[in-house]
Structure 1
Amino acid sequence: MTDLATRPDANESSDDETATIDATAQSDDTVETAPPEYEWAPTEPAPKKRHLWLWIGIPVAAVAVGVGVTSLFLIAPGTSIAGVPVGGLTPGAAAEAVQRQLDVTTIVLTGPGGDAEITGDELGATIDAKALADEAFAAHPAWNLTAWNPEATEVVVTLDPETATEALRAAVPSMYTDPTNATIAFDGASATYVVGPAVDGSGIDVASVQTALTDAFASGETTVDLAATMAAVPAEGTTSVAQATAGILNGMLDTAGFYVGEERTVPIDRATFASWLTVTPAERGTFAISADANAIQPMVDGLAGAVNRAPVDSTTIVNSSGRVLSTPTEGVVGRELGATDGIAKSFAEQIGAGNAAYALPVTEVPFTTTSLARMLEVDLSEQRLYVKENGNVVDSWPISSGTGSTPTYTGRYTIGYKTSVQTMNGYDRDAAGNITGTYSTPNVRWPMYFNGGQAFHGVYWHNNFGRTMSHGCVGMPEWRAQWIYNWAPSGTDVYIHN
């Protein structure tokens, strides 16, 4: 030991030798070795052991852990959505792959117009790729070995009819015949709105294209031939919608006018009303109705002359108690049109909403009522009739009342039964009141009874008025009797006195 430690070239010994010595020295923990008496240099530390297996094992383990962790986010191998393999992809990458495959899947249309190619992207084909990818991952995750290599997920490709039709029309325009929309027009001969029916067009059946695209996509084919199938292309403006709109228009023609309450005060001619209107196609096959306020304005300017009116005062005939016996003149309320600013514009908007009955702003002017208290007064001493109204004499003429044996009785009465003509029958009496015979007078005109069998009536068998001549009635010329017959309604007061 001493010789080795004190060799002149001891500092130049190799690392291996030193390692051997150190290893030897460290390997026997039970042998006590006395320290050397002399040391020419400090002892070098022992080198660390090289564990090569550890450096090889760590990467392998890391790879294994990485694979295990990654499998938590991947779809199981062998998984397909329709004809698109998505095994080993994340759901996001799978969704992109599915949509990308659908976009490039191509339909080759064959038909009388020639062949044409059109892709799923051009057709606007869609599937819910994200939902399908998420569903595939949920059912077949890569970490679950039992979920590997499942059957392909079936999908249905969706086409938006409008987008697909536009794309197909652009690809093969010769296979399309445009539909004709229904029309509405005013017919001057019948003064009504009439409908021109819609006519369907024709074009490629979108449903057959959708089926072919779904089948091709499901089988993984990127190109598929399809013999074009034709289908009807319905008109957007249908006949039924046009008929319903024409019904609204004709209903407005029937009611068009300016109203005061329920009264159509100013009717509007059907052709004139139609000239104000414009009927145009609108969204989703409907029709829009509009009216020209400027065309309406001239009629609005002339409304005052047609609407304004003075009131008509009422006249009633009453008796002394105030009871109304008749109304020769019915009262009518007057009216005045209010401001007309904005009526044309407001009416145009109302017509556009389907209402052609415009309520005018008017102010009512009330009427007054005049009551006429009428009376027929007979002065027997004068043998004269006085026709009175509200106490004033309006006319007077001679009459013939009853003789001494058949007098006209005094008192206050009212007119009762009236008739335009009748045969009058009665008894002749002497001065003592005894019946001496009978009489029958035909065609007595305008009798008005006021006291039992006593009446006012016309006389055609004598002209001796101003003297007593009758069997108790009050007689007068027929034309006079007719006048009071019309002037005095039933219930009119009668006053007989001397």
Structure 2
Amino acid sequence: MTDLATRPGADSASDDGVPTASVTATIADDAVVGDAAVDTTPATPSGVNTTAIDNAAAAEPAYAWAPAEPARKKKRLGLWIGIPAGVALVALVAASLTLIAPGTTVGGVAVGGMTAGGAADALQQRLDNTTIVLTGDGVEATVTAGQLGASVARSSTSTGVEIGAPELGARIDAKALADAAFAQHPAWNPTAWFSSPATTAVTLNADSATAALRKAAPRLYKDPVDAAVAFDAGSAAYVVTPAVEGQGVDIAAVQAAVTDAFNTGRTRVEVAAQAAPIEAKTTTTAAQSAADKLNNILNTAGFYVGTERTVPVDKATVASWITLSTGADGAVTYDVNQAAIQTAVDALPAAVNRAPVNATVITDSEGGVLQEESAGVTGRALGATDNVAAAFATQLKTGNAVYELPVTETAFTTTNLARRIEVNLSEQRATLFENEQVVQSWLISSGRDGYNTATGHFRVFAKLDYQNMGNPDLTKAPNYYTPDVPNVMYYNGDEALHGAYWHNNFGNQMSHGCVNMPLSAAAYTFDWAPMGTEVWVHY
């Protein structure tokens, strides 16, 4: 080591007049300052006699100025420490934007500090780990969630049946709950930290729950009996056998208990078995609705021409076309046998085809119809029937049993018979005319003098098969009495055409104003002349 020091009293000014401090420095040989090696050999100033110096050095200690200390580099320790801290702060802020606030609970599950996805998994796992103990009289089996679905272990000291929530089909919308928890309690919002527990409703899959409970406690279940629909030949109608209600465990009570357990953080809950009715898949109401539809088919089934059911189909025959079945959902359905319908279609031409039948009507002289003598019938010819069976089967499946046939109709004609009765008082004769042709003619007896028959144009306005005429008290007007006068046809007040059984003097005036006719003539005229027939009385 070489000691370098200022000489005593060397507090002298530098060449530029600035005082220099007295410094003592110890520098190791081959010292290094910064990244550069330090030369420990004193520098020789320019123009100095080095020989003299060397000689002097040998005689006394040598002193020299230490070289100037290089400028210190700025310390950046704070910067290097600050960068990781800043990154951590950014990460913390970013995390707070995705995490649920500390202290948040959902359904008894602490989800604080979790992401929504992690919370959803935790909530579903919490629900899946719930065990339900079904208690009740006669229930001796104990079934854990793991055992359920395999064999049922029995114990004489057991008080209930253990059933896992997954076997009950228990479900929550875990994702929605977790998302809601984050939305309401984000970690970045300190005011949302350590919030009150959120609650939710647990739903059970009815089919899964029923299957699990039924397997665990079969004695608590009684199967329902479906309603049935069948054709009754005696009444020629579809009849219903009512459904019988079954019995099982009340799923709603179990669901309420699981919900309560989930929200209070319990993984085991006891539920007293409560009986609940089990409705048949095919209810009486549904079966009756199907029977009503089928009976409407029976009542209206047939082949129609217009609104006329030209060819009705027997109810038993229609029922033979129909095959009933019950779907998995209990709905009563039916199919239709097209081939069976074809048998009825093959017989249609003979039942449908016919020639027209003309009508005949009785009229007055002006053509006004007084009576229909015979009805007209339209002729018809059945068209092609190749697709009738298939089309009818399709209709029947929709409940429509009215099948309109393809036919060509031929109109009938109408014959008019203009009829009138003519009474000739001069000839004492009644003549029947039809379309101005004489049909029949007979001698008659009109009113004698003092009771003369009135002349004029009249119409028959009343007809009686029999009538008592006159007065039984012959002392009173009209001073005669004739019982049971046949075939009476009034045309003018109390004047009438009628049969006379009390005399045979026709061709002569005999009556009190009526037109007496032979019995056979009166009967013929009575049937031949409808109400409204014209009667012309003249001389």
* Letter in structure 2 aligned against 1:280: S
* Letter in structure 2 aligned against 1:248: K
**Mapping 1:39-50, distance limit 5 Å:** 48-49=73-74
**Mapping 1:83-122, distance limit 5 Å:** 83-109=108-134, 112=139, 114-118=141-145, 119-122=164-167
| Structure 1 or 2: more helix by fraction | 1
Contact 1:317–1:374 under 8 Å retained in 2:
yes
Q: Aligned partners of 2:248, 2:380: CA distance in 1, in Å?
A: 64
Q: Aligned partners of 1:146, 1:452: CA distance in 2, in Å?
A: 113
**Mapping 1:297-446, distance limit 5 Å:** 297-376=342-421, 386-396=431-441, 413-414=457-458, 416=460, 420=465, 440=480, 442=482, 445-446=486-487
* Letter in structure 1 aligned against 2:482: P
C-alpha change, 1:423 and 1:172, in structure 2 (3 Å) is closer
C-alpha change, 1:47 and 1:260, in structure 2 (3 Å) is same
Q: For structure 2, which runs of at least 5 residues remain unmatched after alignment?
A: 5-26, 48-67, 146-163, 471-477
Q: Aligned partners of 1:362, 1:227: CA distance in 2, in Å?
A: 72
**Mapping 1:50-449, distance limit 5 Å:** 51-109=76-134, 112=139, 114-118=141-145, 119-170=164-215, 175-224=220-269, 226=271, 228-282=273-327, 284-376=329-421, 386-396=431-441, 413-414=457-458, 416=460, 420=465, 440=480, 442=482, 445-446=486-487
Q: Aligned partners of 2:34, 2:338: CA distance in 1, in Å?
A: 118
Partner of 2:529: 488
Partner of 1:428: none
Contact 1:109–1:116 under 8 Å retained in 2:
no
1:76-120 per-position Cα deviation (integer Å, ceiling 9, x unaligned): 223222222222222222222222222233335566251112333
Q: Which moved more, 1:378-387 or 1:243-252?
A: 378-387
Contact 1:316–1:369 under 8 Å retained in 2:
yes
C-alpha change, 1:182 and 1:446, in structure 2 (3 Å) is closer
C-alpha change, 1:222 and 1:422, in structure 2 (3 Å) is closer
User: How many matched pairs?
Assistant: 460
C-alpha change, 1:14 and 1:170, in structure 2 (3 Å) is farther
* Letter in structure 2 aligned against 1:16: V
Q: Aligned partners of 1:201, 1:414: CA distance in 2, in Å?
A: 82
C-alpha change, 1:149 and 1:362, in structure 2 (3 Å) is same
1:114-143 per-position Cα deviation (integer Å, ceiling 9, x unaligned): 111233333332222223223322333333
* Letter in structure 2 aligned against 1:116: V
Q: Aligned partners of 1:177, 1:447: CA distance in 2, in Å?
A: 81
Q: Which moved more, 1:98-107 or 1:414-423?
A: 414-423
Q: Aligned partners of 1:461, 1:227: CA distance in 2, in Å?
A: 105
* Letter in structure 1 aligned against 2:144: E
Q: Aligned partners of 2:122, 2:277: CA distance in 1, in Å?
A: 35
Per the normalisation by structure 1, the TM-score is 0.75
Q: Aligned partners of 2:492, 2:82: CA distance in 1, in Å?
A: 145
C-alpha change, 1:204 and 1:450, in structure 2 (3 Å) is closer
1:17-43 per-position Cα deviation (integer Å, ceiling 9, x unaligned): 887979xxxxxxxxxxx99649xxxx9
Q: What SS class does the counterpart of residue 203 from structure 2 fall into?
A: coil
Task: State the shift of 1:446 in Å.
Answer: 4.3
C-alpha change, 1:422 and 1:156, in structure 2 (3 Å) is closer
Contact 2:453–2:514 under 8 Å retained in 1:
no
Contact 1:19–1:47 under 8 Å retained in 2:
no
C-alpha change, 1:180 and 1:461, in structure 2 (3 Å) is closer
Q: Aligned partners of 1:364, 1:253: CA distance in 2, in Å?
A: 28
Identity of aligned residues (%): 50
RMSD, aligned CA: 4.3
1:153-196 per-position Cα deviation (integer Å, ceiling 9, x unaligned): 22322212223223444555565433222111222333332222
Q: Which moved more, 1:184-193 or 1:390-399?
A: 390-399
Q: Aligned partners of 2:342, 2:134: CA distance in 1, in Å?
A: 59
Q: Aligned partners of 2:232, 2:469: CA distance in 1, in Å?
A: 68
Q: What SS class does the counterpart of residue 107 from structure 1 fall into?
A: strand
1:449-494 per-position Cα deviation (integer Å, ceiling 9, x unaligned): 77888865545455566x6464687655321232233323443354
Partner of 1:479: 520
Contact 1:242–1:287 under 8 Å retained in 2:
yes
| 2:30 matches 1:13 | yes
Q: Which moved more, 1:124-133 or 1:280-289?
A: 280-289
Task: State the shift of 1:146 in Å.
Answer: 4.3
* Letter in structure 2 aligned against 1:151: S
Per the normalisation by structure 2, the TM-score is 0.70
Contact 2:303–2:405 under 8 Å retained in 1:
yes
C-alpha change, 1:478 and 1:294, in structure 2 (3 Å) is same
Task: State the shift of 1:290 in Å.
Answer: 3.2
Contact 1:76–1:142 under 8 Å retained in 2:
yes
